[in-house]
A and B are shown apart, each in its own frame.
Chain A
């Protein structure tokens, strides 16, 4: 079945360092969404990418959707302690409203 994998699974960075998580789907996605879940919290929607090769920025966060629409990345510049949490990508199974969530990348920022 369709799978969405994220790497790395865990990432520890010093505050101020950059961070990138990669999302890879086994099938083409019509769109991809990114969510952030703080420890003890629930996933919070960050952004949605729809077009092939699309790049969107939110302050220190840069999101990219691959040309083949099978992969995506989230890059955080100069991490802060508020960036701590697990970042998930999610894509819909083709032709459905069933969203497959990635395995997540847990980010820890050391002050």
Chain B
């Protein structure tokens, strides 16, 4: 079974621009979560989608948004980029929405650098 894929793997953007990151979950997985990882803040939850609906959202500003398509693929968008948005963005998929079976499989991440 193919793992979680994320594109692009690396991205360099300028302050004020916007960016869209893509995630393809493991086949059959309907839940997709997004995380931001930085050395200072660790792994922070952005949002989670299940069957095209956002079920949970973390404490990030409205510049961070996402969506999920009918094939479970997901995208996240960051508008008006700031220097502090430089991070590794990780996507994780899960086969179940039930909390007791919610093991997450992470993709390789997208390394975003904002200059």
- Whether the Cβ atoms of B50 and A97 lie closer than 8 Å is yes
What number of A-B contacts does a CB cutoff of 8 Å give?
65
- Whether the Cβ atoms of B104 and A45 lie closer than 8 Å is yes
A-B contact pairs, 24 of them (CB 8 A): A1-B59, A30-B99, A33-B103, A33-B104, A35-B106, A42-B90, A42-B106, A43-B43, A43-B90, A43-B92, A44-B106, A45-B103, A45-B106, A48-B103, A88-B43, A93-B56, A97-B33, A97-B55, A98-B45, A98-B48, A99-B102, A99-B104, A101-B35, A104-B43
- Whether the Cβ atoms of A42 and B100 lie closer than 8 Å is no
- Whether the Cβ atoms of A103 and B42 lie closer than 8 Å is yes
Q: Using a CB–CB distance below 8 Å, which chain A residues touch chain B?
A: 1, 30-31, 33, 35, 41-45, 48, 50, 88, 90, 92-93, 96-104
